[in-house]
Structure 1
Amino acid sequence: MKFLCASKGGDIVLFGIPFDSTTCFRPGARFAPDGIRFFSENLEDYSPELDKSLEDLDFVDAGNVECGVTVEGMVESVTAFMKDVKYPVMLGGEHSVTYPVVKSLVERYGELCVVQFDAHADLRDEYLGTKFSHACVMRRILELGCKLIQVGIRSGTKEEFELMRSCERITYLKTPKELADVLINERLPVYFTVDIDFFDPAFAPGTGTPEVGGFSPLEFFEAIYKLPAVKFVGFDVVEVSPPYDPSGITQALAAKVVRELILKFWG
């Protein structure tokens, strides 16, 4: 099953990581890559807002990475896979899968600016006995030396919010409309990670850890369309959990996020 009109070549590589072994509430994100692909079949290749079409781009859907059930195995498999990927478009999986993708890009570019759209801070040092839980992924990414822009965070521990306020490498934005002004002078390569629970559960009920008080798709897309031209090097959409949304609106939203970001970044 392929995503939209993916070709057999190109520098843009779409792939899935069907992994959810550290999910702390409701598992099911391992079904997301194929669920998002399925709903992409109902999505047009053309974006009227961007006046661009996926048919004009060369990109490949490389399928899913075989990653096993342990975090260590997942990180090893994804790191090996990333050696041949120039511009990753990754479909999670839970949020821990972002770590090996970002780690590979840091090794390639030296420094990276990671923009995190999320309901949760994901800055715990350890959770449920592992430092590589999806609740710890941004803490691990900070340790890679990345600059972190967190957008829409509305849930976390007191310690996580204290770190957000005190760390010089973290910029916290309450709303996505602030992002364009923050990125306009960014010189580092930029990677986006979109946790679907950034959106309010009314728009994205299919996720393992829903958090009330989120944003609408319209707010997200309006912010994306206004982004300045910076060096985008990849993105992911994570934490979609199809078992909790039989209607499919969450998967449909994720598919549109993928289309719009591909066209905004590289169209």
Structure 2
Amino acid sequence: MKFLAAKDRGEITIFGVPFDGTTCFRPGARFAPAGIRFFSENLETYSPALNRDLDDIDFCDAGDLEINALPEDMVETVYSFMENVKIPVMLGGEHSVTFPVVKALKERYGELTVIHFDAHTDLRDIYSGTAYSHACVMRRVLELGCKIVHVGVRSGTLEEFTLIRDNPLLHLVDIKKLPEILENEKNIYFSIDIDYFDPAFAPGTGTPEPCGGTPVEFFSIIYNLPSANIVGFDIVEVSPPYDPSGITQMLAAKVVRELILKFWGG
């Protein structure tokens, strides 16, 4: 596939945010955009499952943003970049990079639903001294007034799970419910933390959590989603230093290819 060989035109913009400044366990997600691009070279542009080809889609790769160490600066940089992006496809970086993209899209569309694939709730208010920690990203998204659909969450504090039960904007669902959910939502953004997948399939991540989803189930659900207004997506928390084999980066690259083809390929 090789993202960098993409035609430099179209409304879909791939860009990387090499930031892991708030990572609380194992850093390394800053290397993910380069790693995902590298392993994308091993992918064909054609998807047999979808019978669609990236060669038929206009998109561009804007490269990686230049990010400072402070999370507040990262938020401002990504938010400003979004001003000229119609449809974002973001390669993280840790999960905190999702907030400024969602903020820009919420302001643009007014109503926005975030489909949050993750092992963790990410609903802490403050963590490690900052409100922009990767452990707080969905709390900040919630404060924007977005509806959040958590898929695959299996780790978090009692407070976070209580918040999910009590807040009408928060929903914890099985992945099999996604087709039904998408039929009723207006503008949808997908945020995919690679640790949604079981570490057996994606060991290269900063905070692995057992008992996750499988790629086969994930793709089978994605392929059968109904038509919906998908306004962008991201793949985050890939950490190449913890996966010398590269299977995590390979999986992330395939997620990017299949989602582009599914959402905007025909």
| TM-score interval, smaller chain | over 0.9
Query: Whole-Å Cα distance in 2 between the matches of residues 46 and 4 of structure 1?
Result: 16
Question: What are the equivalent positions in structure 2 for 1:1-267 lying under 5 Å apart?
Answer: 3=3, 5-173=5-173, 175-186=174-185, 188-267=186-265
Could you state the TM-score of these two structures normalised by the residue count of structure 2? 0.98
CA drift of 1:75 comes to 0.8
Give the partner amino acid of 1:7: K
Query: Whole-Å Cα distance in 2 between the matches of residues 163 and 178 of structure 1?
Result: 21
In 1, are the aligned partners of 2:191 and 2:234 still within 8 Å (CA)? yes
Q: For structure 2, list consecutive stretches of 5 or more residues without a partner in the other structure.
A: none
CA drift of 1:22 comes to 0.3
In 1, are the aligned partners of 2:4 and 2:61 still within 8 Å (CA)? no
Q: Percent identity?
A: 68
Query: Whole-Å Cα distance in 2 between the matches of residues 121 and 46 of structure 1?
Result: 34
In 2, are the aligned partners of 1:4 and 1:41 still within 8 Å (CA)? no
Query: Whole-Å Cα distance in 2 between the matches of residues 2 and 261 of structure 1?
Result: 15
SS of 1:15 mapped into structure 2: strand
SS of 2:108 mapped into structure 1: helix
Give the partner amino acid of 2:194: I
In 2, are the aligned partners of 1:5 and 1:54 still within 8 Å (CA)? no
Deviation >3 Å, runs of 4+: none
Query: Whole-Å Cα distance in 2 between the matches of residues 10 and 139 of structure 1?
Result: 32
Q: For structure 1, list consecutive stretches of 5 or more residues without a partner in the other structure.
A: none
Could you state the TM-score of these two structures normalised by the residue count of structure 1? 0.98
Query: Whole-Å Cα distance in 2 between the matches of residues 139 and 238 of structure 1?
Result: 17
In 2, are the aligned partners of 1:5 and 1:55 still within 8 Å (CA)? no
Q: What value does the CA root-mean-square deviation take over the aligned residues?
A: 1.1
SS of 1:263 mapped into structure 2: helix
